[in-house]
Every structure is written in structure tokens, then in C-alpha cells.
Amino acid sequence: MSSGVETSLTVLRILGMTKTADKIIVALDVRSSNEALALVDQLRDQISFFKIGLQLYTAEGPEIVRAVLATGAKVWLDLKLYDIPNTVARAVESASHLGVHMLTIHLSGGGEMIRAAAGARANQLVILGVTVLTSATEQTLREIGIADKVADQVLRLARLGTQAGIDGLVASPHEIKTLRSEFGDKIKIAVQGIRPSWAEPGDQKRFMTPRHAIEAGADYIGIGRPITAHQNPRRAVQRILEELSARS
């Protein structure tokens, strides 16, 4: 094989991995801004999207969002808003002004709350609706008075959310195919509960490998501890990218 062809194949492989990397969102589930920004610094040339959830946001507030955005990265603010419609709408406005790219709300808040959130977004903010937490089981649903199976509850909430104007859904990887079949490409699907084949499942009950989630139709896959708790986060990301780029 000529060096020119080898170079072209290498470029195509890098471009393919870059495109795949854009689907990965690293969850900054750490205790401080120092830890979070150190991870962003380590991974910024591999990953362009980071998730800030309740732990980090409660510890550091909106300043950590601004700090991550200042690196040129995108931010998914995963606060899972669930309150009266007016309060949620004002929170969505604040997130829009912060400049985050995605924000989560709980679809269990009902149609009025969802419509208030959708109507308050600005600056191309993407509203993602959370259906059923990936740590939840049917026993969990029974405890809060829901008799349906998890899959049925996910679909019910997804329909409610899309009718009320959300842009995408957060669900377990095991619901991807059902949601894609129901809504086609009209919505984005972001999944959590992602665990590489070499990682421990932790407290996730409904999880899947990155490769299987992408093949099932996920637009984004959120990965936390398999990367952030790894002794070498860059190597963990590289292993995931290699696994994804090798899929047939």
C-alpha cells in the first residue's frame, strides 16, 4: 500500500473517531471545580461535551458552568428540573443565559410544567426530558404508586414530553429502539447508564455498552465513572473510542 493511501486511511479513521467522540458526553460527577477542570483539561482534545450534574453544580454553582464553557467545550446541565411551572420556566431562562447547550427536566412534572420549560428556552437551548431514571426498576415504580412496567412508563412520559414541545429525551439504553421507532428522527435521544464492557455497573440497573447504545440509535451517550474514576481518564476515553470505531 502506498504512503498516500495509508495517510488517507489514517485521516479517515481519525475523522471517524472524531465524529464518534462528538456523541460522548463525559459526566463531571466530582466534588470540586478543581477536579472538574482538571478532567476537562485532560480530555478536551478528545471530548467536546461535558455534563454538569447536581453534585458539582450544588458545590460550585453557575461559575463552574462558565469555567467549562470558557474552555470551548459544550455543557449539558443535568439538573432534572421538577417544580411548579413558573419556577421551572425561570430556571430554564437562567440556563439559557448561562449559555449551556442542553438542560434536563423531569417529564413527571406534567404537561403544564413541560410547556412552560419549552416556552422559556432561548439561545438554541435543547430541552431534554427525563423519563425514568436508569437506577429505577419496576419495584421503584410500585413504591411511588405506578403499576406499569418501566418500558410503558417511559413511553407514556416520552409522548407527553414530545407533545408539549421538548427537543429530546433522556432514557435508559434499553428504551432507545422503542423511542426511535415511536418518534423517528424528530427527537434527540441521550442515554445514561452506559458502561464499557470492562467497567463495573455501579448503581445502574438498566445499562448498556457504548457500542451497543450507538448501534441502537442513541444521539448522545453520557459516561461518568468509567472515565472519571479511571486511573487514566484519557486511556479510558481512548479505549471507548477504539471500541466504537471498530464496530461493523
Known catalytic membership, residue 80: yes
Q: Which residues contact 24 (CB under 8 A, 6 or more apart)?
A: 47, 49, 210, 220, 221, 223, 237, 240, 241
Query: Within the chain, what is the greatest distance between any pair of CA atoms?
Result: 66
Read out DSSP for 168-237?
A: EEEE-GGGHHHHHHHHTTSSEEEE--B--TTS--TT-SS-B-HHHHHHHT-SEEEE-HHHHTSSSHHHHH
Q: How many Å separate Cα 183 from the centre of its chain?
A: 18
The answer to whether the Cα torsion of 53, 56, 62, 66 is positive or negative is: negative
Contact 37, 62 (CB under 8 A): no
Q: How many Å separate Cα 172 from the centre of its chain?
A: 11
**Helix or strand run (H / E) with residue 129:** strand 126-130
Contact 55, 31 (CB under 8 A): yes
Catalytic-labelled residue, pool 23, 80, 177, 205? 80
φ/ψ of residue 144, rounded to 5: -110, 15
**So which residues are the catalytic ones?**
80
